Structure 1
Amino acid sequence: MLNLLNALLRTNAETEILEFKTAEQGFDKNKLGQYFSALSNEANLANKECAWLIFGINDKHKVFGTKITDRTLNEYKQEIASNTSPTSNFINTHRVNVEGKQVLMLQIPPAPKGMPVDWKGHCYGRNGSSLSALNNQERERIRLQNYVSDWSEKVVEHATIDDLFVGAISEARKQFKVKNPTLKIEEWNDIKFLNKAKITSQGKITNTTILLLGKPESEHFIKPAVAKITWILKDRDNIEKDYEHFGCPLLLSVNQVYAKIRNLKYRYLPEGTLFPDEVDQFDPFIIREALNNCIAHQDYTLGGQINLVEREDGILIFVNSGAFIPGCVEKVVAADAPETYYRNPFLASAMVGLGMIDTIGSGIKKMFVLQKDKFFPLPSYNLDNNQVKVKIIGKVVDINYARKLAQSKSELTLQEIILLDKVVKGVTLLNAEIKMLRGKGLIEGRKPNFHISSSIAESIGEKPSYIKHKGIDNEYCQNMILKFLDKFEVGNRQDFEEMLLDKLPDVLSQQQKRNKIRNNLQSLKKQKLIEPQGKLWKMSKPKN
């Protein structure tokens, strides 16, 4: 990274995609968000892989160094994720030592094609090295990137109906008939059918046609795009055991991939009549919905393939290339309505006609509901690195949480369950999510170590678990320290840690527990109840 930094320093001046800031002690979060939006949008307009924001060096290239900590950096990342739309974040962050001082390099991704990145509702850009609003012309240039050309609708020159797989056309007819039972499809020849099903365009073969119905050897027509789904089986230690590639026609490949997945029966622990005896690990709808979404929303211009990783410990991971256009999964679930824009509208329309996907916005929500009804963890979406990664867990991970969902009489909404699922998984909550959960009394604790609140725990018979998470309070902790010193006269940090560590909240890390003990010792010192004696502590007042 030092060589790259030196190359950036050789730039005569700041540019639209390069910014230097002194930031010795820190940087204003709102200003950081504005620069993130501006640099991301400018990287898109310049067709660059990234932009750079450098902390610890001023615009004259003088090195000051920065004292920004990892903790502060994580706060910056959370702030960016919370307030950018579509949701974005740094590609990577790098610390480089220059002249004995630390320089922080923040790598910013370009805005997704067709989608300018805004910060708190405002799109920013650059006028040379100056921060400014993204002007209307630049905004439209970005927004028109995908509207001008739908990759999936492009006509494939020199391809004919002979390049399509007969069996795939036959299957497409069957599926189209299911969706349109009143049409006399059997009277149509193949060319008319493909036009009516909107798989071809005015009788011409499109990228969509090749993807869904092409012969395996026809994939070359859509290069550099790739029509490939790779299934990978991994063991519990994440070691690859088997794999297989599936190509054109994807209409048939979906069924072949589905057949590879070992959808075993999951047996619940005995809980009376609380849980069913057994269920499939993965609902067939979830597998097909996730896989077909990968096909429909893949950014084929990136040349990547679709991956499906099956783990023997009951987890499926679906990965496709391209940003998640809605920006946030929770928004999709809450809206329960069609998106206003699709990356591949022609392909999406064809897949709707064949019953592969729907466009009413209910597919993802149904996936969440099906997992909830089994008391399994909800689907997890990772939207980093310009790809969408969906993890489906086909088992109960936290029996207490599963019991909570099964017994709950609190009538939690799906949105609330999604957020409580994050709490159980230890996922960092956004500020708005914290505010909502706290406002409804659903969580307690200090950021980032939240736990389900006592009101919810009591209503579902989990009060002991709540007490375990909440742990002992400061007053009890200090009383224990005083009793120890009253009995033994002196004690060191190790004595107090041995006495108190296992009594502190489970949601705290070991270091956080030690910090809590240290803070209570300092509190007692300020109250003039105890005092240090070298590395030991003793009572400040004489014993009674």
Structure 2
Amino acid sequence: METDALVRLLAAPEGEHLECKQFGNKGDFDELCKYVAGIANSGGGVIAIGISDARPRRVVGTKAFPEPGKTVASLQRALAHSVRIDEHALDGQRVLSVTIPARPPGTAIADRGKYWYRVGEELLPMPDAVLRAIHAEVESDFSAEECVGADVSDLDEVAVAEFRQRWARQRPQLRIDGLRPDELLRDAGLLTGDGRLTNAALLLLGSHAALTRFLPQAELVYEYRATEAAGPAQDRKELRQALLLSLEQLWAAVNARNDRQSIQDGLFRQEVATFDEGVVREAILNAVAHRDYRLAPSVFVTQHLRRLEVTSPGGFPNGVTEDTILHQQVPRNRRLAETLARIGLVERAGQGVNLMFERSAQQGKRAPSFSGSDRHHVKLVLDCMVSNVALLRAIERIGQEDLLSFRTEDFIVLDRLSRGESISAELSQRLLPLRERGLVESVGRGRAVRYFLSRRLSNQIGQRGSYTRRRGLDSGAAEALLLTHLRSVGREGVAISELEQVLPGHSRSQIRASLARMLSAGTVRMLGSRRWARWAAISEDA
């Protein structure tokens, strides 16, 4: 933003698109995130930092956010929304302008799991009705549109027979075996209102020639790469044919290199397939059902020794992100997804993604990852190395009744905590229920709270040492460790920043509390005051 444009903007009244903030010298990043999300959700606008809130506004300047580039990057990580920050000199004072684009269609910007929006000058929690309206801003259903020029003769007879058999097994009472092809397609919703083929019909049942002519992008490319090295794949298949036929060939290709991993469970040894058929099929069907067919690239299925990657064009559908994919289902090709569910190939209501996560957790594998996705494509990575069987066995010992009541998010949270990984805002809502079950413990309060596996669960999976490290020392042990260090450095003492290195699992406020108790007990003394204070041990001889 140009400085002149900022000056003109500041003359206007505050509203949904303008916020003036003074901020302290250090700035409040959490508060900034909250306002950026609210303004983005309300159509975009500007935050002017270093300007008084009340009119007539005054330039007060600011030392907040001294490195705007780093602040922009932090906002992008926190909100998945790009902003621009410019520095200005007004009346000899430093002023910042934060230019915030409007949210993308169908997507509400979340700040730590909460949605905000502007009503006049106020920043308020977003009502459910507003959030639902945003998520309803979905794209048109390409799969339900007419495939212009195609007719029943463009369908593969083998694929149509397979479709009939699958649907008949799902709904035997419909007497599907006796339907003519046109009746079969009409009852399945694969014809438009005036009886023409939909794109979904061609995607599911089309011949190679018809797909090449009408939908050449509807191609599944399989590659096997034994190493990470660039160059030609060891095996490659380009499948441009009815999806019902491609799916079987793809699984056959994956299963041909599907070794089994041996797992020791007490005195017994069992084997687990590296690539689970249900998970692999769901990953491929999810890519096909939700890709953007208006884009030219194909869906790629790349198999490695212990990893499978499925990449589909078009990014996430509006309203869906990596963090919300378990809860927010917005099918980009609804007609295709409904037809796949009708014949039993995918789960209804988006449960297929949940099943991928649950099956992976139940086999001791990492949760599926969408972290490599961007606005141009969705990349699903299945890490199929069995690496956390101990946690699964420990959960099973807790009781079958408890295990049946587990939600998908519970498996993911326990797996991430056992690996020492962070918990996203979306998953953090499951921490309290897991703590009530005695599976998770916590230390600290407010923003300093930390969660980790309970002592019982940690002991069962052989992580007793990790439990002690994550829980931290009790107050007596912590004070003894502080005193030992202070005695080693002598009379000059040390700053509290050095003591934070002695107790990395403790917050600064916890260390201050320990020092206050030691000061009262006469074992330490404070040299100097406030931010320049240093701490030293009192000699035992004194």
Fold conserved (TM > 0.5)?
yes
- Establish whether residue 111 from structure 1 lines up as the match of residue 102 from structure 2: no
Point out the more displaced range, 166-175 or 28-37: 28-37
> Which whole-Å CA distance do the structure 2 matches of 1:267 and 1:438 have between them?
33
1:421 is matched with which residue: 407, 415, 421? Answer: 415
1:377–1:393 contact (8 Å) kept in structure 2: yes
Distance in 2, matches of 1:17 and 1:306, equals: 41
2:307 matched residue in structure 1: 314
Determine the structure 1 residue equivalent to 2:429. Answer: 432
| Conserved 8 A contact 2:138-2:318 | no
What CA distance in whole angstroms lies between the structure 1 residues aligned with 2:213 and 2:7? Answer: 42
Amino acid at match of 1:428: I
Following the alignment from structure 2 to structure 1, what is the Cα–Cα distance between the partners of residues 60 and 510?
37
What's the C-alpha RMSD, in Å, of the aligned pairs?
Answer: 5.4
Residues 65, 103 of structure 1: 8 Å contact kept: no
Do structure 1's residue 529 and structure 2's residue 519 form an aligned pair? no
2:242 pairs, out of 224, 246, 249, with 249
Aligned to 1:476: 477
Secondary structure in 2 aligned to 1:472?
A: coil
2:412 counterpart SS class: helix
1:212 aligns with 2:204: yes
Q: Which moved more, 1:528-537 or 1:174-183?
A: 528-537
> Which residue matches 2:37?
36
After TM superposition, give the deviation of residue 292 of structure 1 in Å: 1.2
Matched, 1:404 2:394: yes
Please name the residue that 1:190 is paired with. 181
Cα distance, 1:18–1:239 mapped onto 2, change above 3 Å: farther
| 1:67 Cα deviation after fit | 2.1
Which residue in the other structure is 2:355 paired with? 366
Which secondary structure does the structure 2 equivalent of 1:267 belong to? strand
Decide whether the 8 Å contact of 2:42 with 2:117 is kept in 1. Answer: yes
Q: Contact 1:207/1:222 (CA < 8 Å) preserved in 2?
A: no
Query: Take 2:297 and 2:390, find their aligned partners in 1: how far apart are those partners?
Result: 40
Aligned equivalent of 1:395: 385
User: Can you list the C-alpha shifts for 1:8-33, whole angstroms capped at 9, x where unaligned?
Assistant: 95897599996564454456968965
Q: CA deviation at 1:452?
A: 0.8
Q: Identical aligned pairs, as a percentage?
A: 18
Specify whether residues 200 and 485 from structure 1 end up closer, same or farther in structure 2 by C-alpha distance, changes over 3 A only.
closer
User: Partner residue of 2:154?
Assistant: 163
Taking the aligned partners of 2:306 and 2:289, their CA distance within structure 1 comes to: 28
Cα deviation, 1:65-118, whole Å, max 9, x if unaligned, reads 66259999999889x8xxxxxxxx433355555557665555553131xx7779
Aligned positions of 1:369-388 closer than 5 A: 369-380=358-369, 385=374
Closer/same/farther in 2, CA of residues 408 and 237 from structure 1, 3 Å limit: farther
Measured in 2, the distance between the counterparts of 1:350 and 1:27 equals 50
Alignment of 1:271-310 (within 5 A): 271-273=265-267, 276-300=269-293, 306-310=299-303
**Structure 2 match to 1:200:** 191
Unaligned 5+ residue runs, structure 1?
Answer: 43-50, 81-88, 333-338
d(CA) in 1 for partners of 2:16, 2:231: 40
Structure 2 counterpart of 1:151, from 124, 139, 142: 142
TM-score after normalising by structure 2: 0.69
Counterpart CA distance in 1 for 2:96 and 2:458 is 46
Contact in 1 for aligned 2:526/2:533 (Cα 8 Å): no
Indicate which of 49, 56, 64 corresponds to 2:49: 56
Whether the 8 Å contact between 2:301 and 2:308 is mirrored in structure 1 is: no
| Local SS of the residue matching 2:186 | helix
**CA distance in structure 2 between the aligned counterparts of 1:444 and 1:452, rounded to whole angstroms:** 9
Q: Could you tell me how far apart the structure 2 residues matched to 1:132 and 1:427 are?
A: 28
Letter in 1 for 2:198: T
- The 3-state SS of whatever aligns with 1:261 is helix
Provide, for residues 95-146 of structure 1, a one-character-per-residue CA deviation record: whole Å limited to 9, x for no partner. Answer: 555557665555553131xx7779999885778x998999999999867755
TM-score under structure 1 normalisation? 0.69
Residue number among 442, 445, 448 corresponding to 1:444 in the alignment? 442
Please say if residues 364 and 388 of structure 2, whose CA atoms lie closer than 8 Å, have aligned partners that are also in contact.
Answer: no
Which residue number corresponds to residue 251 of structure 2?
258
CA contact (8 A) 1:290 1:318 kept: no
Contiguous gaps of at least 5 residues in structure 2: none
Matches of 1:250 and 1:167, distance apart in 2: 12
Map of 1:479-498 to 2, 5 A cutoff? 479-483=480-484, 486=487, 489=490
